[in-house]
Amino acid sequence: GDASTEWVTQGDGDTAYITFELRSEANVVSVGFHSRTMGSSAQIYVYLVEVGDFVTECSLPDAKRSYTCKIGDRIGSRVKFMAMLTSGGNVGASDISINGCLSDEIITRPSAPPSPPPTYAPTVSCNNDEKAVIAFRCMVDSDCLVKVRSRHPFCPETGVPLCSCYASSSRDPFDECEGQDGDLCREVKCANSCENLKAVCYQPNESSFPRCEVQYSSDSELNSIAEYQQVYDETLPVAN
């Protein structure tokens, strides 16, 4: 392409997208994306790439150069880039690349394997050694809020216990059932022990994305909130 040109939107922000129609189906193995920026605006941090019926998320640490996102062998004749997390404004790209093997011949698609049956059942064995990290993305403090966890799946993947405080985001809210079936998600009524706490938008370092975190006024407050608190008035039983 022409290095002196850019793809620029008119204030589309997080809703911006661009689609490329290839002349024939191709095996796409990776894409490259160099976000444009205007300093405090117009920068893309996270985007989605869609090839055929495959969609995945790609991250951009900065707008200094193009970053490659590997997507495996994906077959399609249309590639779509969709902004997911931006600094708003006239977002776009200085450079976009689609890498793979273009072919005008018919590509045989592998048959999709059958979907496995649901595994969330009372006999499920949970691996409690694997804990996910809740990292809620944000841009400003007003994106963040403190919540009390009132729902809990049979096999939780995070270390946030019931009735404990955590920082959530209006941009990226946390699914307390973690995608599991509602019948296997415990629901309780908790005392609001977090009403005096505050959530802020925090960026640990320049190479990481900003995320919502609970702001504590002292170590003693942190320890008292972090303890597992008694649950009362249960509305759903726990599967054993």
Residue type, position 217, single letter: S
| The token pair that represents 56 in the structure block | 């995945």
Q: Are the beta carbons of 57 and 46 closer than 8 angstroms?
A: yes
Q: Are the beta carbons of 215 and 200 closer than 8 angstroms?
A: yes
Confidence category of residue 56, pLDDT binned at 50, 70, 90? very high
List pLDDT tens digits, range 212-236: 888 766 554 444 444 333 332 233 3
Cα 170 to Cα 44, 63, 119: the distances in Å are 18, 25, 31
Q: String of b and e for 46-58 (b: at least 16 CB within 10 Å)?
A: bbebbbeeeeeeb
List pLDDT tens digits, range 103-161: 655 455 566 666 555 433 333 345 544 444 455 678 888 888 888 888 877 766 666 77
For the ranges 23-27, 63-67, 131-135, 183-187, the one whose mean pLDDT is highest? 63-67
Whether residue 189 is predicted with pLDDT greater than 60 in this model: the reply is: yes
Q: Are the beta carbons of 154 and 126 closer than 8 angstroms?
A: yes
